[in-house]
Structure 1
Amino acid sequence: MTTRPRPTVPGTVPPTVPVTVLATGGTIACTTGADGTRTPTRTVADLLQDAALPATAVRDARDVLHLDSSTMTLGDLDSLLAEIAAAATQGPVVLTHGTDSMEETAMAVDRLIGGPVVLTGAQRPADDAAPDGPGNLRDALTAAGEVTAPVIVMGRARVPAYGARKVHTVADRAFDNPLPDAAPAPLTTTPPPLAGLRVDIVAAYQGGDATLVDAAVDAGAAGIVVAAFGSGNVGVLSPGVERALDRGIPVVICTRVPGGPVDLVYGGPGGGARLARRGVRSGGLLSPAQARMELLCELAVTRRDCPAGPRG
């Protein structure tokens, strides 16, 4: 498997190659209304002005979306990926994005485009007394001239996109990555559409049953991710998982535990070892959200290249 090295720590100089900046909303673009709620109101031009970036650092800047990233659909993501892929043919890209679903977009960018694409955002709104967005955007432009694979830049840290997860709701350093030193090469550099494919995440918990697994299958899921117990046990979800596998639906096992990998070694009807023999895939150290997006990307590539492949 071809792998890529992890990025170095942030530098402090503007990029030597002009960067395209694409904006999608998120907290970095939010201001606080009279009712105390935050909504994205700042444009990409506003963000660049707030960050006091030199004019020579930016080739092009435009607003692609203007939303809270928790509301982003696969159709929105398809539009965004098309914009990123087109801009990437001209050089590095910086993407401002809400942190809620940033790890999912980061995985899609990594799997379907690759190259020097930097995602950034903010934990505090633009009208905060001490906003973190301008500094993050400056660091992102610096990173764009230095990295060779997609990364998230937040709180003075560069986090590889593949394996990234949000680890804190308010801290400046919102993201971390538990993976080892390398990530797989992209699946493609011409992203196929994700819309129309369905991959669901089902959680394992005490007192649950296989109802939600079966419901996902009945709803047309082309794949399922299980947020499992411990190192990969699904407990009473097992009958539903096995029924999904019998229908040719890929199932990825992740863990609901914040630290540590999936290790499918336990026996018994809900144990990971039994399901591994049936063909489930380990999500390793990926979060359930990133494992879902990786599976979606794989299914989308298969659907494009082998139209008789996954249902969707």
Structure 2
Amino acid sequence: MTDSTADTPTVLATGGTISCTSDADGDLVPTRGITALLDDAGLPPSSVKARDVLRLDSSTMDLADLDGLLAEIHDARGTGPVVVTHGTDSMEETAMAVDRLVGGPVVLTGAQRPADDPAPDGPANLRDAVAAAQQVVSPSVVFGGRTLPAYGVRKVHTTADAAFDAPDLARPTVLASSPVPLAGLRVDIVAAYQGADPDAVRSALDSGADGIVVAAFGSGNVGVLADGVTDALAAGIPVVVASRVPAGGVNLVYGGAGGGRSLARAGIRSAGQLTPPQARMELLCQLAVQRARR
């Protein structure tokens, strides 16, 4: 007998602005579950399989929450495409993890305006995401009328409907055939800026960091953080250099103690065009796969 639900999209709700309404103090809080979200979008419950997984502000998601979500996505992928409603604050990080550790037709979406706004954008985004899930072949973000690859996608505007963009990047192969735990690993982001203290890197090491991402100057220079970076590399801790500049990516060409080219010879890795948060998630996924294979 043929399963009539095969290939029917599964919608997993996690909270975020798309589920938010204003409380008595006027604060936005995630209150609307999946049944209400489907109703808002005019999607008949029979057209999808749906369930609530989380109900939180995505800025509060930790790696244990992400592990649980990835497991839910992986399980749902066994019966068809998946749509995830998600807060925009950390959507690019979850999108990276989904791309690296799950793959396949998974679409993330959300909203810039809450459900009780006079003109909410979430319902249209959800409708678009459900439609796109049946067309895409790899993880994507559908938002503001655009469909973007999950690998490299980033939030570029705090209020505009078209909140996300993505550079044209070659997508690496998926790291694992099923999710591996991220919880228990620690990768810190250390910012480079005028007058930065190399002890910021050492503090991350002392706190047990398994890896470090430097949000570097320009093309990948770390400035006075160089001594701390050198200490990390000597200790066998991977260091990835991402640029704090929105476009152009890392080009390790400068010499000197804090120059990217000098540190490349010492073993730093380039994040290319990934943002610091994306580079952190990429490194976390790599470390998780390595840990699982030991």
Same fold (TM over 0.5): yes
Residue identity matched to 2:41:
A
Of 77, 99, 102, the residue aligned with 1:110 is 99
Alignment root-mean-square deviation, CA: 1.0
Paired with 1:56 and 1:18, the residues of 2 have a C-alpha distance of: 9
User: 1-side partners of 2:287 and 2:19: how far apart?
Assistant: 33
Q: Is the 8 A contact 2:8 2:79 kept in 1?
A: no
* Partner residue in 2 for 1:4: none
Residue 74, structure 1, aligned to residue 63, structure 2? yes
TM-score, L = length of structure 2:
0.97
Q: Which residue of 2 aligns with 1:177?
A: 166
1:56, distance to aligned residue in structure 2 (A): 4.5
Q: Secondary structure at the match of 1:253?
A: strand
* Aligned mates of 1:220, 1:55 — CA distance in 2: 46
Deviations 1:27-78 (A, max 9, x none): 00000122111000000000001101144430x2111001000000101111
1:93 and 2:82 correspond: yes
Quick one: which of 113, 117, 130 aligns to 1:128?
117
Cα offsets for 1:1-23 (capped at 9, x unmatched): xxxxxxxxxxxxxxx94100000
**Could you tell me which residue of structure 2 aligns to residue 293 of structure 1?**
281
Contact 2:38–2:45 (Cα < 8 Å) also in 1: no
Answer whether contact 1:120 1:152 (CA < 8 A) is retained: yes
Matched, 1:46 2:36: yes
1:24 aligns with one of 11, 14, 25: 14
List gaps (5 residues or longer) in structure 2.
Answer: 1-5
CA shift at 1:189, angstroms?
A: 2.3
Q: Give the count of matched residue pairs.
A: 289
Q: Which amino acid aligns with 1:94?
A: V
Structure 1 contact 85–189 (Cα < 8 Å) conserved: no
Letter in 2 for 1:148: V
The answer as to 2:260 corresponding to 1:272 is yes
Which region of structure 1 is more displaced relative to structure 2, 133-142 or 171-180? 171-180
SS in 2 for 1:262: coil
CA distance in 2, matches of 1:210, 1:46: 50
Q: Which runs of structure 1 show a deviation greater than 6 angstroms over 4 or more consecutive aligned residues?
A: none
How far 1:140 moved relative to its partner?
Answer: 0.2
Alignment of 1:141 with 2:130, yes or no, is yes
TM-superposition CA deviations, 1:84-118 (whole Å, max 9, x none): 11001111000000000000000000000000000
Partner residue, 1:63: 52
Native 8 Å contact 2:152 2:167 kept in 1: yes
Q: SS of the counterpart of 1:294?
A: helix
Q: Is the 8 A contact 1:179 1:285 kept in 2?
A: no
Deviations 1:149-194 (A, max 9, x none): 00011100111110011100011111111133x3111101211110
CA distance in 1, matches of 2:196, 2:214: 13
- Residue of structure 2 equivalent to 1:222: 210
Residue 132 (structure 1) shift:
0.2
Measure, in 2, the Cα distance between the counterparts of 1:222 and 1:72: 20
Q: Kindly indicate whether the alpha-carbon contact (under 8 Å) linking 1:17 and 1:57 is maintained by their aligned counterparts in 2.
A: no
Matches of 2:242 and 2:79, distance apart in 1: 37
Give 2:191's aligned residue: 203
User: C-alpha distance in 1, partners of 2:106/2:39?
Assistant: 21
Look up the match of 1:245: 233
Q: Secondary structure at the match of 1:184?
A: coil
What amino acid is the match of 2:127? R
The C-alpha deviation readout for 1:211-254, integer Å capped at 9, x for no partner, is 11000011111100000000000000000001000011111000
Amino acid at match of 1:64: V
Give the letter aligned to residue 20 of structure 2.
C
The question of whether the paired residues in 1 share the 8 Å contact of 2:192 and 2:217 is answered with: yes
